[in-house]
Amino acid sequence: MAQRERDYVLGTHDAEIDRLRFQHEVWRDEVHAAWRSAGIGLGSTVADIGAGPGFAALDLARLVGPTGRVFAVERSVRFLQYLRGETRDGAYSNIDCIEADLMHAPLALTGLDAVWCRWVACFVPDVGMLVDRLAGCLRKGGTAIFHEYAVYGSYQLLPPEPKFRDFVDAVYESWREEGGEPDIALALPKLLAERGFSIRSARPIGLAALPNERLWHWPAGFVRTNVPRLLELGRRDAAWGAEVLAALERAERNPASIFLTPTVLEIIAEKI
Ligand SMILES: C[S@@+](CC[C@H](N)C(=O)[O-])C[C@H]1O[C@@H](n2cnc3c(N)ncnc32)[C@H](O)[C@@H]1O
């Protein structure tokens, strides 16, 4: 029997893999700064939680080197197939792919130096359980590093485009109806404290892009992959999708436009 793909609200199709790759490239500097500040380096053992196709896991594998180890934990078979393709032929022999649903049994990982969790807490129905899973993986003194949205509604086009606002509302609605919460970072400090973590640092990251900048294609690319996804899921109709894309194209033709990205909260917490 064919194995059922464990999809998530944004999909696991090729366009989503391409979007996640580009997104990781755009965020790479911020991510490496977070990892440095959490003390990840040569020889570290790290889990990439909800790793997707593993773009961060591949960077982590280079960072921790042959004496370290990276565990890419993901429930999508398709995403893991992609990562296994990248690690074939002995490349990245320090990566282990672990197919697991974070909302099912605890992970069979313990004593790790760090766990990296980016844009995953916003998609799971029980974030307390997710934080339990992370705590279970770490050694005492190990760190949990999060990049999760705190103010998704700061995703805006200037000058304002009402149809784009409507798109952001549709994203909120679709994630919430699947059991997620876009602004999940707001809940993390309490959940971490309750589970024996001490917060070492916190920093909001909000970016702004002009139409001629490479960064523009991150917030714009999300619109271009997510509008068809919302139609595929039956959440909106084609006429609505065409209006959202027309609003985006109008903004792209206007050199005075600014794209504000959804605000991410970086949290680095230590297991005490
Ligand atoms: C937006 S993607 C982020 C991927 C990766 N962390 C990154 O930053 O590129 C969210 C990922 O979380 C995974 N995910 C969502 N719910 C999950 C669950 N319950 N168990 C395991 N993975 C899950 C999805 O399959 C998807 O790969």
The amino acid present at 152, given as its one-letter code, is Y
Residue 225, domain member (yes or no) = yes
Residue 8, domain member (yes or no) = no
Nearest by Cα to 192 from 105, 262, 119, 115:
115
Give the chain's domain count: 1
* Mean pLDDT across 140-158: 98
Q: Which residues line ligand 1 (CB under 6 A)?
A: 8, 10, 20, 24, 50-52, 55-56, 74-76, 79, 101-103, 118-120, 123-124
- Rounded to the nearest angstrom, the distance between the alpha carbon of 52 and the centre of ligand 1 is 5
Distance, CA of 170 to chain centre? 19
Nearest by Cα to 264 from 122, 117, 116, 150:
150
Nearest by Cα to 112 from 31, 39, 200:
39
pLDDT of residue 206: 97
The C-alpha torsion from 119 through 65 and 105 to 18, rounded to 10°, is 40
Tell me if the bond preceding 125 is cis, omega within 30° of 0.
no
Testing ligand 1's pocket by substitution, the residue of 73, 120, 126 carrying the most ligand atoms inside 8 A of its CB is: 120
- Rounded to the nearest angstrom, the distance between the alpha carbon of 20 and the centre of ligand 1 is 11
- pLDDT of 7 > 80? The answer is no
The amino acid present at 44, given as its one-letter code, is S
- Rounded to the nearest angstrom, the distance between the alpha carbon of 51 and the centre of ligand 1 is 6
Residue 74: strand, helix, or coil = strand
Residue 3, domain member (yes or no) = no
* Mean pLDDT across 106-127: 97
The number of beta carbons lying within 10 Å of the beta carbon of residue 246 is 12
Rounded to an integer, what distance in angstroms lies between the CA atom of residue 21 and that of residue 15? 10
Confidence of residue 4 (pLDDT cuts 50, 70, 90): low
φ, ψ (nearest 5 deg) of residue 10:
-90, -10
Residue 9, domain member (yes or no) = no
User: Whole domain around residue 180: which residue ranges?
Assistant: 14-271
Give this prediction's pTM: 0.96
What mean pLDDT, rounded, does the chain reach?
Answer: 96
Residue 212, domain member (yes or no) = yes
The number of beta carbons lying within 10 Å of the beta carbon of residue 196 is 14
Residue 82, domain member (yes or no) = yes
Q: Residue 115: enclosing H or E segment and its boundaries?
A: strand 112-118
Specify whether the CB–CB gap between 220 and 252 falls below 8 A. yes
Residue 7, domain member (yes or no) = no
Which ligand 1 atom is nearest residue 147's CA?
8
* Mean pLDDT across 203-223: 97
Testing ligand 1's pocket by substitution, the residue of 5, 97, 123, 171 carrying the most ligand atoms inside 8 A of its CB is: 123
The amino acid present at 183, given as its one-letter code, is D
Residue 168, domain member (yes or no) = yes
Domain harbouring 107, CATH code: 3.40.50.150
- pLDDT of 3 > 60? The answer is no
